[in-house]
Amino acid sequence: MIDLLKKEDMVLENIKLDIEDGIAMVVMNRPEAMNALNNNTLQELEQIIELVKMDKNVYGMIITGEGKAFVAGADIAQMKDYKAEEGRNYAEFAQSIFNKIEDLGKPVIAAVNGYALGGGCELSMSCDIRIASDKAVFGQPEVNLGVIPCFGGTQRLSRLVGTGIAKELIFTGRMVKADEACSMGLVNKVVPLEELVNQSLDMMKMIVAKAPMAVKYSKISINQGFDMDLRKALELEKDLAALTFASDDKDEGMNAFLEKRNANFKNC
C-alpha cells in the first residue's frame, strides 16, 4: 500500500495533476512517446489513484492525454525482450492499477482526446464514463505484435460492446474512429476536440453535485452486480439501498426536494 501522499509531495515526470473544485484532472504527459504506458508512468498513475482515493476533498477524477494521443498503448521498447514471466508480471501490474480505477469509490471520466490504442483503450475502459473527441481513435492492435490485450482488454471490451464486436476488433486489430466507437457502445458521447475538457468537466461537476454516497454505491452495485445472476444482484442492490436510506444525504436530498430547494450534500 502506498503511503498517503499530498499533491505537493509527489514527483510526477510523465503525468500532470491538477486539483480544482474537488476534481482531479490527470493528464498523461509523454507526448513524445504518444503517452505510452511504461513502468514509471504506471507507477505515477497508481500514486495519483491512491491520492484521489484517500483525499476527502477530491470527489472525482478526469483522465486525458497531452498531444495527439490519449494513450497510444504500452511501451513496446520496454516489452520487446519480455518472456513469459516478465509478460505476466507486467500484465498483473497494469491490471492491478486499472482495477483500482474501476473500484475507486469516486467517479472517473476518460476524456479521450486522440489515439486510445492497446493499453490506452484498456485504460479508458477501466473508467466509469468515456467522452471522446471527434479526433479520438480506439483499438486493440496487440495481435499485430504477436500478443493479446492483457491490461483487461479481452474482458472489459466484451462486456462493453458484446463478444462478437470484441472478437472482431481484437482478432483483426482494426481501429475505429470516435463515431463508430460511440455507435457500438464503447464511448458515451463524441464532442469536438476543443470542447472535450470543458464538457468532461461539466459532466463531472454535475455528478459531484449529487449525493456522494449514492454515486459511490450506485457504482458498486453496477460493477459488482454485472457478474452476478439477477436475483443475487438485486439482493446487492437492496443492501446498498438500505445504506443510503440510513444516510444524512438521504435526509438532505428528500427534505430539499419537498422544500423545493437545491440539496446541499456534504461533499459539495
pLDDT at 75: 84
* Residue where the block lists cell 492497446: 118
Report, as an integer, the average pLDDT of 176-192: 98
Q: Do domains 7-208 and 212-258 have the same CATH topology?
A: no
Which residues participate in catalysis according to the annotation?
122, 142
Taking the mean position of all CA atoms in its chain, how far away is CA 52?
13
* Residue where the block lists cell 419537498: 258
Report, as an integer, the average pLDDT of 23-30: 98
Taking the mean position of all CA atoms in its chain, how far away is CA 113?
14
User: How does strand 115-117 pair with strand 137-139?
Assistant: parallel
Per-domain residue ranges of the chain:
7-208, 212-258
CATH architecture of 7-208: Alpha-Beta Complex (3.90)
pLDDT at 4: 52
2 pLDDT exceeds 60?
no
pLDDT at 55: 95
Closest CA to 138 of 116, 159, 120, 156: 116
- Rounded to an integer, what distance in angstroms lies between the CA atom of residue 191 and that of residue 201? 13
pLDDT, tens digit, 9 for 90 and up, residues 114-166: 999 999 999 999 999 999 999 999 999 999 999 999 999 999 999 999 999 99
Work out the angle at residue 136's Cα, subtended by the Cα atoms of residues 133 and 139, and round it to the nearest 5 degrees.
145
60 pLDDT exceeds 80?
yes
235 pLDDT exceeds 50?
yes
Work out the angle at residue 224's Cα, subtended by the Cα atoms of residues 173 and 107, and round it to the nearest 5 degrees.
75
Q: pTM for the full model?
A: 0.95
User: CATH assignment of 212-258, given 2.70.98, 1.10.490, 1.10.12, 1.10.10?
Assistant: 1.10.12
* Strand arrangement, sheet containing 176-177: 69-71, 115-117, 137-139, 176-177
